[in-house]
Structure 1
Amino acid sequence: MQGLFILLVWSLLLLIGCAAPFVLALAYLWVDLFQPQYVSPEIGRLLPISMITAVLAIGGYLLADRRDPPRLGLLTALLLVWAAWITLTTTWALFPDAAWEKWDWAFKTVAFSTLLPFAFRTRIQIEAAVLVIVCTIFANVLPYAIKGLISGGGYFRALGLVGVNSGWGGEGSTLATYAFASLPLIAHLRRWSILAPARGLLRYAYIAAPAIAVLGAFATFARSAVVACLVWAALTWWHSRRKFAVAILLFAAGAVVVPLMGESWLARISTSLDAQQEASALTRLVVWGWTIDFANQHPQGGGFDAYLANHAMVAMPDGQVMEVQGRAFHSIFFEVLGEHGWVGAAIFGAILLTFFANMRTLRQRARDNESLQWLDSLALALMQSMVIYLAGAAFVGIAFQPLHYYLFALAVCATAFLARARVPAARHEAPEAPMPSWRLRARRSVSGA
């Protein structure tokens, strides 16, 4: 029944897409994030649902919806360069079979993010994309929250819609990062949504979203959940108008949630404070050190899954020697550095800097226009989501998971919308000097004559 229901949802999206082609792109977002092939494996064996949806989305645009395409901006150009570079590094990968396997889905993620701005051009279309992203994420987070309340959660437990390590929804650190990164987008929708206004039952859904995210993320027992939560809380407090009240509310929520998670959760999180005593944290430090040395020797990178080459012997405080071999990067930054070298790190860094610069410029141009204040809010939400994502991803290797690439795509959509609105850039000219009084009197006398 579950598989039939998922196929029905997918079929309805494709059917609606026949009349509104941008819905086919929404269907691709849903398939890529919800990952029905993991939720119901029978679907994956029956149909290549992701490939079919991608082909239909691209075909729908080319055949029926080629209006107002976005201009090629720096962010899109850098994403295309990034796609080309990760392809190039795969040609000299240390482990070709594993590298090409990862390239197959990583390249699609990057490439398709450059195509989405062609489909989402209007305010309604952009909002629909944001809604699909957050609803799909919370469809995976909600089961963790419910089961976490009942059982207390646990590390490496299948509490969601998919099995352990099946896509992002089955990996606790990634799910926790996704949960908190989506909260700024939800706050934006709560204030500005046209399709799902904060009225009636939806109002309570918006209010409950942070609690669901906290409970669901903490139920994974992932340390990245705490990092992402702290960054989200700091950003929420900083951008709030009632800072004292928000601070009290956040501290009160922490006082309730932390004891609720139980002693086992506290014991696991507390080990993060002493990397020398905690084998997992110490292993990450060793791998990160190896990655820097490897990148210095191979500035062009070692290709996808280059971490398989790492090997080190580490002396533990208790006198034992721990062997570290083939351990994952466990960091988005070191994943990029190890796999694609200093060149790849520079490209990825340029993408991030361009993203934040574009959103800052967009806010400056939109905030004083009453009809575009929703765009100012969206730009702020995208920046906050990216900061939270990068904070959580600092401890998990998710450089090619789709969420941040969709944030890049939404940034391009927002910038293109502003360009179509033809809002002039803010001028920073010096104010005109006041006219001397004698000249003003002379002008008045001439006018009176």
Structure 2
Amino acid sequence: MRDLFVTLVVFGSIPLILRKPFFGVLIGSWLGLMNPHILCWSFAAGKPFALIVALTLILSFLISKEPKRLPASALVGLLGFWWFWLFVTTLTAFYPDTAWDYWDRAWRIMLLTFLTIVLLTSRERIDALVWTCVISLGFYGVKGGIFTLLGGGASHVNGPAGTFIGGNNEIGLALVMTIPLIRYLQLTSTNRWVRYAMMAAMGLCVVAVLGTQSRGALLGLMVMILYLAVKTRNRAGLLLLLALSLPLAFMIMPESWYSRMDTIQAYDQDASALGRINAWWTAWYLALEHPFVGGGFNVFLRPTFIQYAPNPRDVHDAHSIYFQVLGQQGFVGLFTFLGIMFGSFVSLNRIRKFARSHEQLQWMGDLSSMVFVSIIGYATSGAFLGLAMFDYYYTLVAITIGLTTVAHRYAAQGVPEIAEVAPRPVIGVAVGAVGAAANRFAPPRRWLLGAIAGWFGKL
């Protein structure tokens, strides 16, 4: 059944993508973040759905008549230089055969990021992308939270194998980044049942993060919750939710969970922690000898440790976005990577201050605050995990730039008054068919189909 569902969604979306390239961004993000094709067991397993959608998106982008303007900003410039520098360091990589495999994935992430930036030109599109992120990763949070509650936390929560979020550390990081976006949807939704569902999803995601038994995810969760409590409005409900969900989650965790978390303090006696520190020193010594270009993708291999590591026998991955970039792309790459993160924080703070002075733009202030908290979660948990090329992070950067684009337009044209806007018939026959079919159903179904048609029409 899931094979049929994924296949129908992908191939059914092709006409929509050809009509509006932004639909390709949504479907591509769904495939990249959730990886639904990895969950298939039958004929859809292993099919190149992402490639099909990517090619369709590129074709649609080239033939589309809608404006295609890349925003002129320092953050966009840093992203462009980062893409260029990834290519340069791949040319000079220590291990070119495997480095080019990693580059093949990196340039696709950057291409989708830039296409997203160009097409993210309205609140409707920004909200649609946020919903895509929340549905894609919130699925694993809700599922993992229920799994942890029913199993008493005895087993680790993991993501789909063979993906960016396949391990317990990786899915923990992704959920830490997703909780603030769920909070944004809970704050801005006008439907109380959606608000209740988002509150439940946040609680289950918190439980799921604990269920991963990832120490890095736990640290990221604590820092993220602290910033979330500071940055969000209407804190009372959120604090009540955390006061109920966290003690419950801690109570059901087994003794093995507490023993594992205790090693955070006794890191000097933990083999895994010592291996990470050994990898960090390896990245440092490598960067001192190759300060500009580093060692390229996939440099943390045994020959590198033999040459640069304090303990050459303890071979580990970088286990840190910062030391991963330092070892792979050198100091130039590290400063660029940090510049993108810092530039995102600056942009989000400016957007929040701008929105604060306009009641109509409260949604923009909420989203900028929550994206800020999401990136804080990535920056914290990422200090213990090598996911520098995590596509989810670059999606958040694209949302930041999209918010800046919309804010600049509002500032130039004046903030519009809130008004009901009739859906535009941008998907032609499909919207008309849905609207016509809606009239034949009972009122609840008619409302749902009408809402879907209206939402599509605004994109």
Q: Could you say which TM-score interval applies, normalised by the shorter chain?
A: 0.7 to 0.9
**Pairs within 5 Å for 1:11-410:** 11-40=11-40, 47-67=47-67, 69-153=69-153, 159-160=158-159, 162-163=160-161, 166-193=162-189, 197-200=190-193, 202-239=194-231, 250-251=242-243, 253-299=245-291, 300-308=293-301, 309-311=304-306, 312=309, 323-325=313-315, 327-410=316-399
Provide TM-score, normalisation by structure 1: 0.85
Please tell me whether the aligned partners of residues 198 and 206 of structure 1 are also in contact (alpha carbons under 8 angstroms): no
Which residue number in structure 1 is paired with residue 433 of structure 2?
A: none
Cα distance change of structure 1 residues 42 and 110 upon mapping to structure 2, 3 Å threshold: farther
Q: Quick one: which amino acid aligns to residue 25 of structure 1? A: V
Please tell me whether the aligned partners of residues 190 and 198 of structure 1 are also in contact (alpha carbons under 8 angstroms): no
RMSD over aligned Cα atoms: 2.4
Cα distance change of structure 1 residues 295 and 362 upon mapping to structure 2, 3 Å threshold: same
Q: Quick one: which amino acid aligns to residue 187 of structure 1? A: R
Please tell me whether the aligned partners of residues 305 and 313 of structure 2 are also in contact (alpha carbons under 8 angstroms): no
Cα distance change of structure 1 residues 51 and 238 upon mapping to structure 2, 3 Å threshold: same
Contiguous gaps of at least 5 residues in structure 2: 415-459
Deviations, residues 112-144 of structure 1 (Å, cap 9, x unaligned): 211102222111111001100111011222322
Name the SS for the 1:310 alignment partner.
helix
Shift of 1:292: 1.0
Larger radius of gyration: 1
Instruction: Find the aligned partners of 1:238 and 1:154 in 2 and give their Cα distance.
Output: 33
Shift of 1:313: 6.2
Name the SS for the 2:294 alignment partner.
coil
Instruction: Find the aligned partners of 2:87 and 2:157 in 1 and give their Cα distance.
Output: 34
Name the SS for the 2:313 alignment partner.
strand
Please tell me whether the aligned partners of residues 330 and 395 of structure 1 are also in contact (alpha carbons under 8 angstroms): yes
Please tell me whether the aligned partners of residues 141 and 201 of structure 2 are also in contact (alpha carbons under 8 angstroms): no
Cα distance change of structure 1 residues 298 and 159 upon mapping to structure 2, 3 Å threshold: closer
Provide TM-score, normalisation by structure 2: 0.83
Instruction: Find the aligned partners of 2:65 and 2:215 in 1 and give their Cα distance.
Output: 44
Please tell me whether the aligned partners of residues 335 and 397 of structure 1 are also in contact (alpha carbons under 8 angstroms): yes
Please tell me whether the aligned partners of residues 17 and 23 of structure 2 are also in contact (alpha carbons under 8 angstroms): yes
Contiguous gaps of at least 5 residues in structure 1: 315-321, 426-449
Instruction: Find the aligned partners of 1:54 and 1:89 in 2 and give their Cα distance.
Output: 25
Please tell me whether the aligned partners of residues 144 and 153 of structure 1 are also in contact (alpha carbons under 8 angstroms): no
Shift of 1:364: 2.3
Shift of 1:404: 0.8
Instruction: Find the aligned partners of 1:243 and 1:132 in 2 and give their Cα distance.
Output: 25
Greater shift in the superposed pair: 286-295 or 392-401: 286-295
Number of corresponding residues = 409
Name the SS for the 1:174 alignment partner.
helix
Shift of 1:44: 6.6
Shift of 1:245: 8.2
Q: Quick one: which amino acid aligns to residue 150 of structure 1? A: L
Deviations, residues 159-218 of structure 1 (Å, cap 9, x unaligned): 55x23xx2133211111111121121121122224xxx4422x22211112211112122
Deviations, residues 384-418 of structure 1 (Å, cap 9, x unaligned): 11011111111110000111100110111111112
Shift of 1:249: 5.9
Shift of 1:307: 1.0
Q: Quick one: which amino acid aligns to residue 284 of structure 2? A: I
Q: Quick one: which amino acid aligns to residue 342 of structure 1? A: F
Instruction: Find the aligned partners of 1:289 and 1:85 in 2 and give their Cα distance.
Output: 23
Cα distance change of structure 1 residues 60 and 169 upon mapping to structure 2, 3 Å threshold: same
